[in-house]
């Protein structure tokens, strides 16, 4: 009986310890969520600068995929266009299509509108 209890306790301990292992994420987001929320809530130049800084940090991915998340270049490009950097923004939108071709239909319509 004592061996069964000890075996059960050891098995349970192993199970608990193995469930505490860290999981790797596909993408590294840094503090993007906070910066994006702050800019959405209060679109000041300070918050915009922080959001742009977070986009620059996100370009150096440490996630398991080693590529930026879907929508990264699209959102960054749109922010650059809003900031008056139209050519840079369109270049970012085109990068989104290169990396995620399934976005081409939507992103190409945005590019067409910007080039009018």
Question: What is residue 74's three-state secondary structure?
Answer: helix
User: Could you tell me how far CA 1 lies from the centroid of its own chain?
Assistant: 53
Distance in angstroms (rounded) separating the CA atoms of residues 4 and 41: 58
Name the residue with higher pLDDT: 12 or 83. Answer: 83
Distance in angstroms (rounded) separating the CA atoms of residues 25 and 28: 7
pLDDT at 28: 77
**What does the pLDDT look like over 1-39, one tens digit per residue?**
666 655 555 665 665 555 555 667 777 778 888 898 999
Mean pLDDT of 82-86: 92
Looking from the CA of 96 toward its CB, the CA atoms found within 13 Å total: 25
Domains of the chain in start order, with CATH, are 25-114 (1.25.40)
pLDDT at 22: 60
User: In the predicted model, is pLDDT for residue 96 greater than 90?
Assistant: yes
Confidence of residue 106 (pLDDT cuts 50, 70, 90): very high
Task: Give buried/exposed letters for 26-48 (b at 16+ CB in 10 A, else e).
Answer: ebbbbebeebbebbeeeeeeebb
What is the H or E stretch that residue 98 is in?
Answer: helix 86-99
**What does the pLDDT look like over 31-69, one tens digit per residue?**
888 898 999 999 999 999 999 899 888 888 877 878 888
Two tokens, residue 9: 């306790």
Name the residue with higher pLDDT: 83 or 9. Answer: 83
Two tokens, residue 103: 């976005």
Two tokens, residue 59: 């370009």
């Amino acid at each position: 009986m004592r061996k069964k209890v000890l075996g059960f306790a050891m098995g349970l301990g192993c199970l608990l310890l193995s469930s505490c292992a860290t999981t790797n994420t596909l993408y590294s987001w840094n503090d993007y969520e906070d910066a994006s929320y702050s800019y959405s809530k209060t679109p000041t130049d300070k918050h915009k600068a922080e959001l742009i800084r977070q986009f620059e940090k996100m370009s150096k991915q440490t996630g398991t995929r080693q590529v930026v998340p879907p929508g990264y270049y699209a959102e960054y490009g749109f922010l650059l266009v809003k900031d008056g950097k139209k050519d840079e923004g369109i270049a970012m939108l085109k990068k989104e299509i290169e990396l995620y071709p399934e976005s081409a239909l939507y992103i190409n319509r945005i590019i067409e509108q910007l080039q009018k």
